[in-house]
Chain A
Amino acid sequence: MVDLSPLRDAIIDGNAKMAKALTDQALKEGTDPQSIVTTYLIPAMDEVGRRFECNEYFVPELLIAARAMKGSMELIRPLLVKGGVQPIATVAIGTVKGDLHDIGKNLVASMLEGGGFTVVDLGVDVAPEKFVASVQEKGVNIICLSALLTTTMPAMKDTIAALNSAGLRGKVKVMIGGAPVIQRYSDEIGADGYSDNASSAVQLARKLAAAA
């Protein structure tokens, strides 16, 4: 297999154009799409996450790296689906009802995607029923809830209650996050995990997926 380490660097540097061109070229040359993901994209995003956690990177660098990764994923995804490759797990993510903040949620979604998960993005202002429906219809294993307003945090509790009453709580893991959320709140409402940033969110999701 050709050496694609420039692809890895392009993503870490957030060079979307370069990442896309290199991916395109690699696919044309017949490189296995799954191996591009596992050998380059996931390690690249792991490195981006590491730099974020040790405070070298901040939101802007994270976002542009995520965009570069997404550009190359767009080329790869149709081929993965054709090849019937199994993702680690399927995650549904959304900003809870009443809340429209989505920058943090989008970052978590991208990092999860870059971490090898299939991500169903339900968007913003997502009602509990929509999360429930995603489990019923899309075979979701993990639900990620984001809230940035103190006034919308209770919607996280409502969503867990809705999963309970639909009899689905045992089937999915629930992760929560967003600036005002703390671990204690997560424990209080019976979520399965909390993390305060997009990078550790991936590690948490991997842990929950392994436990499922």
Chain B
Amino acid sequence: MPRVRLLPQDESFEAPAGAALGDLLFSHGVEQPCGGRGRCRGCRVQVVAGALAPGDDDRASFSAVELAQGWRLGCRARVDADLTVALGRWSSPVLADDTPLVLEPRDGLGIAIDLGSTTLVAQLVDRANGQVLGVRTALNPQARRGADIMTRIDHAMHGGAAELTALVRAELGRLVGELLAAHPGTPRLVTVAGNSVMHHLFAGVDLAPLSTPPYEPEQSGEVALDGGALGWPGCAGCPVVALPCLGGFVGGDILAGLLATGMGQDPRPSALIDLGTNGEIAVSDGTRMVCASTAAGPAFEGAAISCGMRAATGAVSTVRVDGDGLAVTVLGGGAARGVCGSGLIDACAAARRLGWLAGTGRIKREDRLIPLAPGVALTQGDVRQVQLAKGAVAAGFDLLLRRLGLRAQDLGRVWLAGAFGNAIDRASAHAVGLLPLPPERVTPAGNTALLGARLALSHDDHAYAALRARCTHIALKQDEAFEDAYLEGMAFP
């Protein structure tokens, strides 16, 4: 088996011949902001020993000089023989596009944590240069007490709060312990980015305000704990900071996203959108910022869809028009077992183009189905679920824009955060009316919660406090115009 060696951290591991380098790098903390499509250079590596033949995407992404220097896209490469590569700069490739990342070198190690409702990611970072030294991931053990945040709230409000807090703190402590065992040292700061519910449960803050109207957290501020008091190995005296929430269900993960995308410094209007179950959106007009959660629901994750599934082997992940029918691709290449979020949006866009789907969402075909593959088809009910979910996002987006007196076309850029945002076809998202802008102005930004948490490790301590102060949370329920915007948002353009 070929051996792969990563620099500068000098980690070595064996890989099956032909393994995708991108997958190997991912488990060592290298993100793929564009979702591994060879678009963003986020996962770029420099070949130090061994060889990687450049492909078309490499030639499109790098200059001749860079290619000669050995720069390649990690996500496009396959490992066939022993290989040593140096990881590209840690600074966000996204930011490298236009906004320079102001990184203040700091002493010692730092740990950045993405505290998701489903998964946990912890990265050990050298604060002097921002290099990622190691990464550990785990499932959020709270998931045993319910998959979605409302179930967690429910459990917490019925006496389970302390249990949920202890579960996640212990699991994160385990990841931190593993990171430090591999790279001994004393961390100086740990930053944790999560949604409002994760923030409250981690910090041990009472969830009651988030469980009843008006659903506004009382204490949304930055909460600093002590690593020693948490019982985390090697962290005595090290502050553990939960990034503050922006308001309502818009949490520190979105604040981290504002940091990661540089929206705060961008003088042009821009927006960040996390297309998860809660569909959080932040919009900036260059000075002021507003944010909201649009409650899209789990349809984009394949839930509530008759043949829906997560993006795993057997999922129809892309759909396009082919002649007078549809052509699909299936993850893993085998037979289709269901459809995941990206396939769902593609399917609606393609069916609309073929005239199978009316603007109102009614399926016009005789069989009232959108057949995708043998045994996999969207029903009328499935399309209705898509309409409810994408309509909510579109309505929330529309209202936030209106708050700032903007129109969608005024936005210079829309950043997509989160796994679904990175997998979705942006042209399809535009075609079904989920995103108000064409693909050229929409950029997948990867795991912005993790990236933002990492930036917060070396940022001026209060840079994010200032950012937070500028961003006003809007409770959509209080907006009279929501219902009309929602009705409009449900239609297919």
Q: Could you jot down 27 A-B contacts, CB within 8 Å?
A: A55-B362, A55-B384, A56-B362, A57-B360, A58-B360, A58-B362, A59-B388, A60-B360, A60-B487, A60-B490, A60-B491, A61-B360, A63-B483, A63-B487, A64-B487, A98-B211, A98-B213, A99-B213, A100-B477, A103-B483, A103-B486, A149-B150, A150-B154, A151-B150, A151-B153, A151-B157, A151-B211
B475-493: CB near A (< 8 Å → 1, else 0) gives: 0010000010011101100
Is A150 a contact of B483 with CB atoms below 8 Å? Answer: no
> In chain B between 187 and 243, which residues have their CB closer than 8 angstroms to a CB of chain A?
211-213
Bound together, the chains give a CA A61 to CA B360 distance in angstroms of 8
For residue B99, CB closer than 8 A to chain A, the reply is: no
> In chain B between 161 and 201, which residues have their CB closer than 8 angstroms to a CB of chain A?
none
For residue B287, CB closer than 8 A to chain A, the reply is: no
Is A55 a contact of B483 with CB atoms below 8 Å? Answer: no
For residue B380, CB closer than 8 A to chain A, the reply is: yes
For residue B361, CB closer than 8 A to chain A, the reply is: yes
Bound together, the chains give a CA A100 to CA B362 distance in angstroms of 29
For residue A13, CB closer than 8 A to chain B, the reply is: no
Distance between A50 CB and nearest chain B CB, rounded to angstroms: 14
Distance between A108 CB and nearest chain B CB, rounded to angstroms: 15
For residue B151, CB closer than 8 A to chain A, the reply is: yes
Chain A contacts for B150, CB-based, 8 A: 149-151
Chain B contacts to A: CB under 8 angstroms: 150-151, 153-154, 157, 211-213, 360-362, 368, 380-381, 384, 387-388, 477, 483, 486-488, 490-491
For residue A9, CB closer than 8 A to chain B, the reply is: no
Chain B contacts for A151, CB-based, 8 A: 150, 153-154, 157, 211
For residue A47, CB closer than 8 A to chain B, the reply is: no
Bound together, the chains give a CA A92 to CA B60 distance in angstroms of 65
Bound together, the chains give a CA A60 to CA B491 distance in angstroms of 8
Interface size class for chain A? 10 to 19
Nearest chain B residue, comparing its CB with the CB of A150:
B150
Task: For the A-B complex with A55-B368, A59-B487, A150-B154 known, give 20 more contacts whose Cβ atoms are closer than 8 Å.
Answer: A55-B380, A58-B384, A58-B387, A58-B490, A59-B388, A60-B360, A60-B490, A63-B483, A63-B487, A64-B487, A98-B211, A98-B212, A98-B213, A99-B213, A100-B477, A103-B483, A103-B486, A149-B150, A150-B151, A151-B157
Bound together, the chains give a CA A98 to CA B486 distance in angstroms of 22
Chain A contacts to B: CB under 8 angstroms: 55-61, 63-64, 98-100, 103, 125, 149-151
Bound together, the chains give a CA A64 to CA B488 distance in angstroms of 11
Nearest chain A residue, comparing its CB with the CB of B476:
A100
Bound together, the chains give a CA A56 to CA B157 distance in angstroms of 41
Nearest chain A residue, comparing its CB with the CB of B157:
A151
Chain A contacts for B157, CB-based, 8 A: 151
Bound together, the chains give a CA A149 to CA B249 distance in angstroms of 14
Nearest chain B residue, comparing its CB with the CB of A61:
B360
In the A-B complex, the 3 residue pairs with the closest CB atoms: A60-B487, A55-B380, A100-B477
Distance between A16 CB and nearest chain B CB, rounded to angstroms: 13
Bound together, the chains give a CA A56 to CA B368 distance in angstroms of 11
Bound together, the chains give a CA A57 to CA B488 distance in angstroms of 14
Is A100 a contact of B483 with CB atoms below 8 Å? Answer: no
Distance between B9 CB and nearest chain A CB, rounded to angstroms: 44
Distance between A178 CB and nearest chain B CB, rounded to angstroms: 13
Chain B contacts for A149, CB-based, 8 A: 150
Bound together, the chains give a CA A190 to CA B368 distance in angstroms of 37
Bound together, the chains give a CA A132 to CA B157 distance in angstroms of 26
Bound together, the chains give a CA A103 to CA B211 distance in angstroms of 20
Chain B contacts for A100, CB-based, 8 A: 213, 477
Chain B contacts for A57, CB-based, 8 A: 360
Q: Which of A58, A64, A99, A150 contacts B361 (CB 8 A)?
A: A58
Distance between B42 CB and nearest chain A CB, rounded to angstroms: 37
Nearest chain B residue, comparing its CB with the CB of A60:
B487
Chain B contacts for A150, CB-based, 8 A: 150-151, 154
Chain A contacts for B361, CB-based, 8 A: 58
Chain B contacts for A55, CB-based, 8 A: 362, 368, 380-381, 384
Distance between A63 CB and nearest chain B CB, rounded to angstroms: 6
Bound together, the chains give a CA A57 to CA B361 distance in angstroms of 9
Is A125 a contact of B487 with CB atoms below 8 Å? Answer: no
Distance between B161 CB and nearest chain A CB, rounded to angstroms: 14
Q: Given the interface contacts A150-B151, A151-B154, does A59 sit within 8 Å of B483 by beta carbon? A: no
Bound together, the chains give a CA A61 to CA B150 distance in angstroms of 30
Bound together, the chains give a CA A63 to CA B488 distance in angstroms of 11
Distance between A157 CB and nearest chain B CB, rounded to angstroms: 14
Bound together, the chains give a CA A117 to CA B487 distance in angstroms of 26
Bound together, the chains give a CA A127 to CA B1 distance in angstroms of 66
Bound together, the chains give a CA A113 to CA B471 distance in angstroms of 42
Bound together, the chains give a CA A99 to CA B477 distance in angstroms of 11
Chain B contacts for A64, CB-based, 8 A: 487
Chain A contacts for B486, CB-based, 8 A: 103
Chain A contacts for B213, CB-based, 8 A: 98-100, 125
Chain A contacts for B387, CB-based, 8 A: 58-59
